[in-house]
Amino acid sequence: MLSGKIYRNSPIDFLIQKALERKEVIQSKSGALVAYTGKYTGRSPNDKYIVDSPSVHDKINWGKVNVPISKENYDKLYKKISSFFDSERELFVVDAQVGADKKNFINLRVYCQYAYQAIFATHLFRRLPVRTIHELSLPFTPDLTLYCAPSVTADPKTDGTNSEAFVILNIEEKTIIIGATKYAGEIKKAVFSYMNYLLPQKGIFPMHCSANIGNNGKTTSLFFGLSGTGKTTLSADPIRRLIGDDEHGWGKNGVFNFEGGCYAKCINIKKESEPQIWSAIHRKGALVENVVLKNGDFDFSDTKYTENTRAVYPLEFINNSIPTGMGKHPKYVIFLTADATGVLPPVSHLSLSQAAYHFLSGYTSKLAGTERGIKEPKPTFSAYFGGPFMPLKPMVYLNLLRKYLKKYETKTFLVNTGWIGGAFGVGKRISIDDTRNIITAILSGKLDEVPCRHDKIFNLYVPVSIPGVDKKILDPSLSWKDKGLYYDSAKKLAKLFVENIKKFPDVHESIINSGPKL
């Protein structure tokens, strides 16, 4: 295997040059690169598989998310990718680490068909530490190896797949293979899925969340949420330091970032509301996916290719990021949801049982573009705010959440970044300024002990006032013109919660009773 021209751990400037020479990307006026990924502009969840083997069979939460594929079919596709990389062609190899905790990381090797994929992997994963002369003489030994070749396609009739695309995790052989899709997010999330299998067995809580810390270095906060809820935007806070924007672990040494870069959504981004991310996207070396260029400038409002436009850049592009990727045990955990029905309160204080309930629920409205086929928001429940990436059984992750929240007396809030005044298409999205004021109040401790009203439908305790936030926003019913329609919509959403939690028969009754009531 690998008899072609190999570019191993190349500098970013060289990879930029190769990507331009090979016409994989276009360079914007700012120097950032733009790649167009064709048919696949988001994750393809129906094309993701885990190899079913005796060593993992009883641990995996098999179902619609974690779909098994036979070792025989995996071997056929692995042979296709091996043959592809063994042909006379250029290929790119990136060696990196996943996990900032020195005792809880893995060595990762990524084989890429395209130079822009190598840029993505170099930015996104953690760079290897500087090695001594003695260490340089030792080979790099990967704990996980990933092969990504978009030109390699599956044949559903013979390979056991749903389409020509495939993302296959072989846990037993510590290998991932990806074919037919050029969307770089598949690389990121496949590695995340592997970490979410590995770390709980070490007693470490893997989390689909962003993290930042106060400038005093003491008040760490975590932001859980699915794509489009605001994890990246809200954690990139000028008055706090960024630990990471998407994937973290929580262990005895505190919180640690899995990654060394950010993968931010670009749709409708504005310099005024998201200055740090805006600046990072416009720097030379940033790699942008599927954003329209007009006369060399980005048009972030144009959805010609997808609403799921993305940009990857290294953490150091955020001026106040933390290079070590480490933070203290969190004082606050914030569950983010983007409710497109317009009925959830913008902020609620959660007890330990309520935190467990909403962690299992993982409610949001799936926004357009994050997955293939999603054209407008629709209610969805994704356990742990990241169900598609969690291979193990639900109680494994729930027990870790409860353990760490209780041990470190972490306060938990549910924050809705979605719509008010009506559902999507009628109401409007809560302003980023209002959401930031809510987050600031939480992280400054102003909501630790405040008067709250009880929302009887959702069984939530909602602060009655927050500095800088209109009281009408805090009670969604006040912003609806048709109150009857509001209550009908709220009860409809509450029913979806009640039906969803039934999927978890092993959950204690105290947690069930902490959720919405019909």
The whole-number pLDDT of residue 297 equals 97
DSSP 358-382: HHHH-EEEEPTTSBTT--S-EEEE-
Give the three-class secondary structure for 147.
strand
Q: What superfamily does domain 5-24+42-203 belong to in CATH? A: Phosphoenolpyruvate Carboxykinase, domain 1 (3.40.449.10)
pLDDT at residue 357 is higher than 80: yes
Read off the pLDDT of residues 234-287 as tens digits, 9 standing for 90 and up. Answer: 998 888 999 999 999 999 999 999 999 999 999 999 999 899 999 999 999 999
Read off the pLDDT of residues 388-430 as tens digits, 9 standing for 90 and up. Answer: 999 999 999 999 999 999 999 999 999 999 999 999 989 999 9
pLDDT at residue 43 is higher than 80: yes
The class of domain 205-259+323-512 in CATH terms is: alpha beta
Q: Are 416 and 334 contacting, i.e. CB atoms less than 8 angstroms apart? A: no
Model confidence band, residue 468 (pLDDT cutoffs 50, 70, 90): very high
The whole-number pLDDT of residue 88 equals 65
- Output the pTM of the full model: 0.94
Residues 6+ away with beta carbon under 8 Å from 7: 14, 15, 18, 90, 91, 92, 93, 115, 118
Q: Looking at residues 281-298, what average pLDDT do you find?
A: 97
- Pinpoint the alpha helices (H) of 71-144: 71-86, 115-124, 133-136
The whole-number pLDDT of residue 372 equals 54
5-24+42-203 and 205-259+323-512 agree in CATH topology: no
Active site residues: 43, 189, 208, 227, 231-232, 246, 310
Q: What is the 3 state secondary structure string of 452-476?
A: EEEECCCCEEEECCECCECHHHHCH
Q: What residues does each domain of the chain span? A: 5-24+42-203, 205-259+323-512
DSSP annotation of 387 reads G
Give the integer Cα–Cα distance in Å for 497 and 485.
19
The whole-number pLDDT of residue 257 equals 98
